[in-house]
Chain A
Amino acid sequence: MTAVDFDDLTVDEVSRHFGRRRALSHISFRATRGTLLGLLGPNGAGKSTLLAMLATLLRPSAGRIRYGTHDSTTPQPALRASIGVLGHDLFLYPELTAAENLEFFAGLYAVSDPRGAAQRALELAGLTDRADDAVSSFSRGMRQRVALERALIHRPRLLLLDEPFTGLDDASGAALTKRLRELREAGAIVVLATHDLDLADGLLDSAMFLRDGRMVDVVDRPDALRSTYRDIMSRGRASSAAGTRG
Chain B
Amino acid sequence: MFARVVWLVLRKDLMVEVRSLEIVYTTLFFAVSCVLVFAFALVQEGRPPADGAAGILWISIAFAGTLALGRAFERERQSETLRALLLAPAARPAVYVGKLLGIIALLVAGEIVLVPLVALLFQAPLLLRPIWLAVILVTGTVGFAAVGTLFAAMLVRARSRDVLLPVLLYPITVPVIIAGVRATATLLQPDVDGEILRFWLALLVCFDIVFVTLALWTFEPLMTD
Chain A residues packing against B (C-beta within 8 Å): 1, 3, 55-59, 76-81, 83, 85, 87, 89-96, 100, 104-105, 107-110, 134, 150
Inter-subunit contact A107/B8 (CB<8 Å)? yes
Q: With A1-B89, A78-B89, A83-B87 as given contacts, are A92 and B79 in contact (CB-CB < 8 Å)?
A: yes
Q: Say whether A77 contacts B20, CB under 8 Å.
A: no
Closest chain-B Cβ to A14's Cβ sits at a distance in Å of 15
In the complex, whether B4 has a CB less than 8 A from a CB of chain A is: yes
Q: Which of B1, B8, B86 contacts A104 (CB 8 A)?
A: B8
Inter-chain contacts of B12 with A (CB < 8 A): 93, 96, 104
Whether B87 and A77, one on each chain, are in contact in the complex, defined by CB atoms closer than 8 angstroms, is: no
**A197 vs B186: C-alpha distance in the bound complex, in angstroms?**
70
Contact, CB under 8 Å: B89 / A110: yes
**B16 and A90 contact, CB distance less than 8 A:** no
With a cutoff of 8 Å between Cβ atoms, the chain B residues found around residue A108 in the complex are 5, 8, 85, 88-90
* Among A57, A59, A81, contact of B89 (Cβ-Cβ < 8 Å): A81
Provide the bound-state CA to CA distance between A95 and B1, in Å. Answer: 26
Would you call B218 an interface residue if the criterion is a C-beta within 8 Å of the partner chain's C-beta atoms? Answer: no
Residues of A with C-beta under 8 A to B91 = 77
Residues of B within 8 A of A (CB): 1, 4-5, 8, 12, 15-16, 19-20, 78-81, 83-91, 224-225
Tell whether, in the assembled complex, residue B89 and residue A100 are in contact, meaning their CB atoms are under 8 Å apart: no
What is the bound-complex CA distance between A105 and B12, given in angstroms? 10
List the B side residues contacting A1 at CB < 8 Å: 1, 89
10 A-B residue pairings within 8 Å (CB atoms): A57-B224, A85-B87, A93-B81, A95-B15, A96-B12, A105-B84, A107-B4, A107-B8, A134-B19, A150-B84
Would you give the shortest CB distance from A90 to chain B, in whole angstroms? 6
Residues on the B chain within 8 Å of A56, using CB: 87
B79 contact from A81, A93, A105, Cβ within 8 A: A93
Nearest CB of B to A152, in Å: 13
CB of A89 within 8 A of CB of B79, answer: yes
B90 to chain A, nearest CB (A): 5
| Known contacts A91-B79, A95-B20, A96-B15, A3 near B89 by CB under 8 Å | yes
**Residue from the set A55, A59, A93 with the largest chain B CB neighbour count within 10 Å:** A93
Other than the given A92-B79, A96-B16, A109-B88, 7 more pairs (CB < 8 A) read A77-B91, A85-B84, A87-B80, A91-B83, A93-B12, A94-B79, A95-B20
**Nearest Cβ on chain A to B28's Cβ, whole angstroms:** 19
* B85: A residues at CB distance < 8 A: 108
Bound CA–CA A94/B1 (angstroms): 26
Query: Do the beta carbons of A77 and B80 come within 8 Å of each other?
Result: no
Does B89 lie within 8 Å of A91, measured CB to CB?
Answer: no
Residues of A within 8 A of B8 (CB): 104, 107-108
Residues on the A chain within 8 Å of B224, using CB: 57, 59
